[in-house]
Amino acid sequence: MESACSTTANADIAARIRTIADYPKPGIQFRDVSTLLLDGPAFRTTIDRLAALVNPAEIDLIAGIEARGFIVASALSYALSKGKVMLRKPGKLPGEAVGIDYALEYGTDRIEMHVGHVLPGQRVLVVDDLLATGGTALAAIQLLRNAGAEVTEALFIVDLPDLKGADRLRARGVTPIALCAFEGD
C-alpha cells in the first residue's frame, strides 16, 4: 500500500507524520501524528495553516473529538480565540451528557458532550486529526446538530481520500478541509 502523501501541498507537514503498518489491525495504515507533535515549529505551522483555512467570523465554537482531535482543536481554539467543546469517549464527562454511537474504520465507538454547552444556532467547527471513513466526524456533526448547532465545515490535518469520508461529509452539507492527503487506507 502506498504510504506517501498524495498531495504536494503541505508536504512538509505530511513528511512529519509517521505511518505504522497493520495498526491497530492488519491492513490498516495508521497515520501517526504523534511524530508531527514532537516538532514544535512544524506543529505551530500546522495550526497556523489550519487557522488560515477558516473564517473566524463564521465560527462561534470549536468542537474537538477525543483524543487527538483535542490537541488540534485546543491549539486552534487558542489561535482563533474561540471556545472549545469536548466531544468525549463514553463515561468521561462529569455533567449530564448526550451521546451518539457510530461505526469506525476499525470497530465501533461512541462520543458524548455536555448538555447545554452547545446552544441552538451556534456555528460550530468540527476538528479532528484525521478523516478516514467519516463515521466519527458524521457522529460529531449529528450530535451537534441534535443540539441545534449549525455545522458547515470540518477541519483535519489528514484526509484519507480512498476511504471516501470527505464525500460522506459533503453529502451531509459539511465541507471537509484537510491540510494533506494520504493514498491508501
Q: Which three cell numbers stand for residue 130?
A: 484525521
Three-state SS at 154: strand
Residue of 64, 135, 161, 176 interacting with ligand AMP (CB under 6 A) = 135
Q: Does 176 bind ligand AMP (CB under 6 A)?
A: no
CA dihedral 59, 31, 4, 45 (to 10 degrees): 40
Spatial separation of the C-alpha atoms in residues 182 and 185, rounded to whole Å: 8
15 is a site residue for ligand AMP (CB under 6 A): no
- Kindly state whether residue 86 participates in binding ligand AMP, applying the rule CB under 6 A: no
Looking at the Cβ atoms of 10 and 133, the one nearer to ligand AMP is: 133
Element (H, E) at 45: helix 40-52
Among 46, 93, 134, 169, binds ligand AMP (CB under 6 A): 134
Stretch that binds ligand AMP, among 51-59, 71-79, 89-97, 125-133 (CB under 6 A): 125-133
Angle between helices 40-52 and 68-80 in degrees, nearest 10: 60
- Give the footprint of ligand AMP on residues 30-49 (CB under 6 A): 30-31
Cell reading at 112: 458524548
Q: Kindly state the cell numbers that stand for 11.
A: 508536504
Say whether residue 10 binds ligand AMP (CB under 6 A): no
| Contact call for residue 130 and ligand AMP (CB under 6 A) | yes
By beta-carbon proximity to ligand AMP, the closer residue of 67 and 81 is 67
- Report the C-alpha gap between 12 and 48 in whole angstroms: 14
C-alpha closest to that of 154 among 33, 41, 44, 73: 73
**Is 64 one of the binding residues for ligand AMP (CB under 6 A)?**
no
Choices 9-17, 46-54, 93-101, 132-140 (CB under 6 A): range interacting with ligand AMP? 132-140
Out of 16, 18, 49, 68, the active site residue is 68
- 43 and 75 Cβ atoms separated by less than 8 Å: yes
Nearest distance from C-beta of residue 45 to ligand AMP, angstroms: 20
Active site residues: 68, 105
